[in-house]
Chain A
């Protein structure tokens, strides 16, 4: 594309449209008076809906057979003096995560419409800006551009947890921000260092992945082992904090418990996936050698995370904390799949990233529905509420079963693929990881049993009203996804297959000794 080409918003520049459409909505909200609740709702739904439509358009035009991350490439100068470009492109992996993001963003706003939220305008605006940050991180191919979006995500999330969160929200949000920032600043050092290395090796300043990945694959950088190890960790730590991998996970339970429903849904649904996305997009392709060297270490942490997360989840009395720890466990499985490094495990990991976004998003959403009505998340305060809230119960059971990997729902496909791939790599890993899944079934089904079935002891639950229209509208797309990808996983698998093969190919180039 020539530099001076005019913007073609639904053609060549469709990714720009996708990324910035939500924040235009957020800016427009500044003109709407704070008490015009319906107008604010309209703007929020309109812009997140339009973004969803754009992402659907992307899906329709996308050719999953294309290898590489250059689909819908946008390439413009940004800071030419230092070779920094406004460079965006997608592949099947990023596209599937983009769809997850746009769907969840609409769902979150729909649910919020059905609940009572003060400072409503700020809430909608924060989610719209957050959506821009997430989408930007998913499409950016220039490391600096990626870093900018990565950091931009942090600010709305800070406010979402800090303003609309629970009692310990200030502590939780600061912890979240500091953990994430410490990781990502280290990544900035890595990016700077690598930029210097690349310029020295090729006499060409670039921060573009399209230049970096081939250079890494061909060994043009001539990195020493120490340098490569450092760079790998500079990137990997930023992403592993976000995942979060044991022992970097301590911010997650706090953030999840204190965040408002929408915040938890987005956090679990998308933000954690950006960690694994980063591993697949940056850490692994750029430093396959170091990835190979540290695979046993990371796998060990992942295995600990799987079992530990599940074990701790089983001990929780707070529903949200339980789901939060289940995320620690499930995401560790995804990391294990990534480092296992074969096609089955990696495509399973990619599938599971979407699957987990849907199931855990739905779990948090429904816990939020109960909390909105009863203002408690203690399991012991509930019991036998199925008779009062039959629809919520049905949905919750679907989400829980999807999460524990019941065949016919999406969790099964992802977990099966990952375990199958991990089995090829190491039987021991596979055995340990499987125990995590069994524990998963125990704690989630216990949760369902304690809350929805059993004796209807607590009279405060008598007046519990079922999920309302708005909330249902927000939940149904997720349910549809859980069932659909469980019954017919092929379309999603096809979408990510090329990306998975690409990663495997790079991995095999340098990983196999």
Chain B
């Protein structure tokens, strides 16, 4: 596969971030615990610089370009996701500063791993070849396994890492097997070539099986049913900032490749795969929302709720018939999803009362009196998660539902709406704890300006995009797959 040296220019941001990750990883071995904060700040700086490197060609009006013989695409679509992922990375590091700093675990490698995971995601969203996508996905996943178990003497953390690793490796195997079948049926791994050969060639059962297996592998990554069981355990067990990161970054990346593979690769086979996705979407919405009803632990509840959200987002994939609408509704929804989840997890970070991972709904009791601003902001995030206007979550949900409706998935939309009503019940349990229940006086609240600023930024955007979504809608329209 030939490639020109000029191809390297397209991956400068990724190269820079890889280099920064390596340097910081080495540097981390030399610093004392007191100096770890420097590493964190440098990590933030390198994420910001990466964003800057991404923005320069984009602002210079460079169109979609492809490199390395069609393995890598630098297009608006990937740019949209990369910016979101980088922002999620920055927010996660802000959440981690004190959280990791105050823990008994040295934090040097933590930030390096975060950067590697981010690099993996960036390559994923740009991947236009099944192998490059797979390799990038593994880079992300391996960093994640380690991060999940970072608090290595906490049983829950190790449990989370072990579950995540075993199931993750298994699902990667499934994905890879699917990819191999697709290769067998079409003779190619590049999405463009796969798409061409689907149009030209006869329908083969082998290909359909391959597509199903690829879908199953990806269902695991976005935590949709029936491949969702790992998510609540991992979210509960992982250090909270990492849970926030898992809920957002990898999901965004996984959705990005899901949509890209299925729209630009398997698009012409959509009659076969939409049924599978519809079934998974229905199941996911029910399992996630009903599962969340019974949770006492806020992180678990957010885990289940994010399963529910995975189900909603799948609706956008079903709108293949009006694919621009479906895709832009996914982009908008995921933006809202990232904002509200980061915000909600951020408040959990601030409310770590009993060491780490001791978050029950009761810990929110009486928060409204103790800290009205925090409680108000949390209400905003919960309303957004439930899809109540005027929040970004409502706009996202609205667009997804109307995309699914236009594509003719009426019953699924009805189910999604029903599940939204269910979701309000568990989200409002937190509201109830904060406002309607008296606190016991044990409420411990960290005062952390960095986290507060990050949360307030998420809140401001959640509200702004709920009231005036037009800029985001225009942006998403400009960032669709060509």
Residues of A bordering B, CB below 8 Å: 77-82, 144, 147-148, 151-152, 154-155, 158-159, 162-163, 169-170, 173-174, 177-178, 181-182, 185-186, 188-189, 192-193, 195-196
Contact = CB atoms under 8 A, between A and B. Distances in A.
A162 B477 contact: no
Instruction: Enumerate the 7 nearest inter-chain pairs by beta-carbon distance, A residue then B residue, closest first.
Output: A148-B389, A185-B417, A192-B402, A162-B436, A182-B421, A192-B405, A81-B473
Interface in B370-408: 379, 383, 388-390, 394, 398-399, 401-402, 405-406
Nearest to A159: B435
A193 B421 contact: no
Nearest to A144: B398
Interface stretch (B63-71, B215-223, B341-349, B424-432): B424-432
Contacts of A193: 405, 410
A152 B389 contact: yes
A79 B410 CA distance: 23
Contact of A195 (B389, B402, B469): B402
A195 B325 CA distance: 15
Nearest to B397: A188
Nearest to B414: A189
Given A154-B388, A177-B428, A163 B402 contact: no
Contacts of B468: 78
Nearest to A179: B421
A311 B475 CA distance: 59
A193 B410 CA distance: 9
A11 B379 CA distance: 35
A154 B414 CA distance: 21
Given A185-B421, A193-B405, A79 B473 contact: yes
Contact of B389 (A80, A151, A163, A169): A151
B467 to A, nearest CB: 9
Given A79-B469, A152-B389, 12 more contacts: A81-B474, A151-B388, A151-B389, A151-B394, A162-B432, A162-B435, A162-B436, A170-B436, A181-B421, A189-B414, A193-B410, A196-B402
B421 A178 contact: yes
Contacts of B59: none
Query: What range describes how many residues of B lie at the interface?
Result: 20 to 34
B420 interface: yes
B436 A169 contact: yes
Contact of A177 (B398, B401, B418, B424): B424
Nearest to A34: B372
Given A151-B389, A159-B435, A186 B417 contact: yes
A158 B421 contact: no
B335 to A, nearest CB: 15
A77 B473 CA distance: 14
B144 interface: no
Contacts of B421: 178, 181-182, 185
B473 A170 contact: no
A4 to B, nearest CB: 15
9 contacts: A77-B470, A79-B473, A81-B470, A82-B473, A170-B432, A173-B436, A189-B413, A192-B401, A192-B402
Contacts of B399: 82
Interface in B287-319: none
Contacts of A178: 421, 424-425
Contacts of A148: 389-390, 394
Interface string B22-55: 0000000000000000000000000000000000
B424 A181 contact: yes
Nearest to A165: B436
Nearest to A195: B402
A341 B399 CA distance: 36
B381 to A, nearest CB: 13
Nearest to B436: A162
A439 to B, nearest CB: 35
Contacts of A192: 398, 401-402, 405, 413
A193 B402 CA distance: 8
A151 B383 CA distance: 11
A188 B401 contact: yes
Contacts of B388: 151, 154-155
Contacts of A158: 428, 431
B470 A163 contact: no
Nearest to A188: B417
Q: Which of A144, A155, A185, A186 counts the most chain B CB atoms within 10 A?
A: A185
A163 B435 contact: yes
Nearest to A170: B436
A170 B418 CA distance: 22
Contact of B401 (A151, A152, A186, A189): A189
A365 to B, nearest CB: 24
Contacts of B402: 82, 192, 195-196
B413 A152 contact: no
A163 B436 contact: yes
Contacts of B477: 81
Given A188-B417, A189-B414, A196 B424 contact: no
A186 B401 CA distance: 12
Interface string B434-465: 01100000000000000000000000000000
A79 B470 contact: yes
A181 B421 CA distance: 6
B405 A147 contact: no
Contacts of A82: 399, 402, 473
Contacts of A169: 436
Contacts of A78: 468, 470
Contacts of A152: 389-390
Nearest to B429: A174
Contacts of B405: 189, 192-193, 196
Nearest to A183: B421
Contacts of A155: 379, 383, 388
A229 to B, nearest CB: 14
Nearest to A182: B421
Contacts of B390: 148, 152
A195 B413 CA distance: 14
Contact of A189 (B383, B417, B431): B417
A107 B428 CA distance: 30
B110 to A, nearest CB: 37
Contacts of A80: 470
B425 A174 contact: yes
A81 B410 CA distance: 22
A273 B16 CA distance: 62
Contacts of B470: 77-81
A318 B235 CA distance: 48
A82 B470 CA distance: 10
B97 to A, nearest CB: 28
Q: Which of B388, B414, B432, B468 counts the most chain A CB atoms within 10 A?
A: B388
